[in-house]
Amino acid sequence: MTCCEGWTSCNGFSLLVLLLLGVVLNAIPLGISLVEKDQAFQNPISCYEWWFPGIIGAGLMAVPATIMSLSARKRGCCNNKTGMFLSSLLNAITVIGAGYCMMVSLQALAEGPLICNSQGNHTATCQFSLKNLSDFHPESFNLQWFFNGSCVAPVSIKSPTAEDIAKDWGIPSSNSEEDRYRIFHFSVFIGLLVVGILEVLFGLSQILIGFLGCLGGVSRPRSHIV
């Protein structure tokens, strides 16, 4: 049997869990301002939650492949080569959406929350351009804004010494607004990055299964012995 309905169904359930998790994670920073300030668009954690990496990338773009994979439980997509090809095609869309989620998450982790980058701390300072994603350089990626004692630049122009860096190094607590934003930002976008990676893996595995099903044939119903 070249078409594995069990694995396809497992992919469907996994994608369903991941897309729901991506939507929830993306919604967390969008609701923080309403909970703390009761004002929409004020004091957002980051500009990048408004790119909707979890809602659109890991969420909506994974819905068609999830539905197609779940239909394998009733042998709805594994009885013909056209169904297998369509399953591979829809999972390619899932991989593209998950890749978008990963790119946005990496850029958000590289820059840190708005409280670390801007005095205004408002969505008016955000620049929604794909150029932001293309300017990402892996060699410059670091998480100093999270592990330093404070991500806000000091007022004095004195350059920090090695002792100062070692003294300030640590995981932020929730004692201040800055620390809460840093913890939320780190948790949300690390979670979205993991969701994107897992969706890519499940999507690629289903593309492979669909490709093999198109080449080698699909499953046939078992004959009943009377």
Q: Tell which residue, 10, 57, 15, 16, has the closest CA to residue 199.
A: 15
Query: What is the per-residue pLDDT across 18-74, written as a single tens digit (0 to 9) for each?
Result: 999 999 999 988 777 566 554 544 556 788 888 999 999 999 999 999 998 888 766
129 vs 138: CA distance, rounded Å: 19
Check: CB of residue 85 under 8 Å from CB of residue 38: no
Query: What is the per-residue pLDDT across 66-118, written as a single tens digit (0 to 9) for each?
Result: 998 888 766 555 556 777 788 889 999 999 999 999 999 999 998 888 877 75
DSSP 58-95: TTGGGHHHHHHHHGGGGTSSSSSHHHHHHHHHHHHHHH
Q: pTM of the prediction?
A: 0.80
